[in-house]
Amino acid sequence: MLPFVGRRALTAIPTLFIVTLMVFAIQRSLPGDPALILAGEQQDPEVIAFIRQKYRLDDPLPVQYVAWLAQLARGDLGLSLRTNERVLGLIGSKLPVTIELAVLSMLVAVAIALPIGVLAAVRRGTAVDYGGTVFALTGISVPNFWLGIMLILLVSVQLGWLPASGYVPLSEGVWENLKRMIMPAFVLGTGLAGVLMRQMRSSMLGVLRQDFVRTARAKGLRGAAVVVRHAARNALIPVVTILGLQLGALLSGAVLTEQVFTIPGFGKLIVDAVFNRDYAVVQGVVLITATGYILINLVVDVAYAVLDPRIGAR
């Protein structure tokens, strides 16, 4: 197992290098001068010149790139052009928020998708199956931001049950935190649940047809035990793949949901940074996200090995 993990970890280095090159190149090719945006409405030429000099925007691109890499090597992600805060600190304060949101959404998604998926497979062709399909399609089709705004209007404005948006750190009260996370986690979770449920159902159908399930039944095991202990466990493998990919996507992709619910997470950080051409922040966020993806993929691979020992042995 260890050499397997080590090999996978080594491949991360060239990947990260390519990521730095791409995020740098793509960002610099965007029109929109950060110095102009930063200077604001006033646009004093001296201020613009000062900003260009301070953030080395006047240097040739290769020089800027190498300087950034040298900075990275020291573990320094630089300063936000807009607020002068440390990018590492900014990311450090946003990452836990997004991770919490991602994990909660995953829990919502899994709690909805797995039982429905299994039931739909076991009761294939019945009303349960069709109901599940309709639910899955709805979850996938309804845009997150729309569902978010509708929920805010219904739950917060009309009923007054939950706060409309914002974020309270866990350290300031679990309930205060959850009150603000329930709706966004639900919105993101239902979107994911559709995909997961479809995957669980088809994977389950495949497994239920296999010999070992028939054998287990023939041994006299009862339906539920067969389904849960034997079939579902094996059907989970492709589902874990999807889960891993989606968790990665959630880290960067909760953008719209974070905007709607004004959750100060990763997605919101990067959207605002792109609009403000805050190079240092965009670069830092993309790099950390890429690292996150690589880590998650690694964990998924390890999870395969645990679920199906044949994979690790290869």
Distance, CA of 236 to CA of 5 (rounded, Å) = 21
Pick the stretch among 59-67, 119-127, 149-157, 296-304 that binds other proteins (CB under 8 A): 149-157
CB of 163 to other proteins, least distance (A): 5
User: Using CB under 8 A as the criterion, what x/- string covers residues 43-82 for binding other proteins?
Assistant: xxxxx--xx--x-------------------------x-x
Among 67, 70, 111, 153, binds other proteins (CB under 8 A): 153
CB of 31 to other proteins, least distance (A): 4
Residue 172 lies near other proteins (rule: CB under 8 A)? no
Amino acid identity of residue 274, one-letter, is: V
User: Using CB under 8 A as the criterion, what x/- string covers residues 242-281 for binding other proteins?
Assistant: -----------------xxxx-x---xx--x--xxx----
CA distances from 50 to 32, 59, 62, 272 (A): 17, 13, 21, 23
CA distances from 28 to 22, 155, 197, 274, 279 (A): 10, 43, 41, 11, 8
Among 13, 67, 69, 83, binds other proteins (CB under 8 A): 83
Do the Cβ atoms of 105 and 185 come closer than 8 Å? yes
Do the Cβ atoms of 79 and 283 come closer than 8 Å? no
Residue 306 lies near other proteins (rule: CB under 8 A)? no
CB of 211 to other proteins, least distance (A): 54
With a CB cutoff of 8 Å and minimum separation 6, the contacts of 40 are none
- Closer Cβ to other proteins, 230 or 268, answer by number: 268
For tokens 């205060």, name the residue.
176
Say how far residue 122 (Cα) sits from the centre of its chain.
31
Coil, helix or strand at residue 86: strand
CB of 180 to other proteins, least distance (A): 10
Distance, CA of 215 to CA of 178 (rounded, Å) = 46
Residues in 90-109 at the binding interface with other proteins, rule: CB under 8 A: 90, 93
- Closer Cβ to other proteins, 46 or 211, answer by number: 46
Distance, CA of 129 to CA of 137 (rounded, Å) = 12
Interface positions with other proteins (CB under 8 A): 30-33, 36-47, 50-51, 54, 80, 82-85, 90, 93, 149, 152-153, 156-157, 160, 163-167, 259-262, 264, 268-269, 272, 275-277
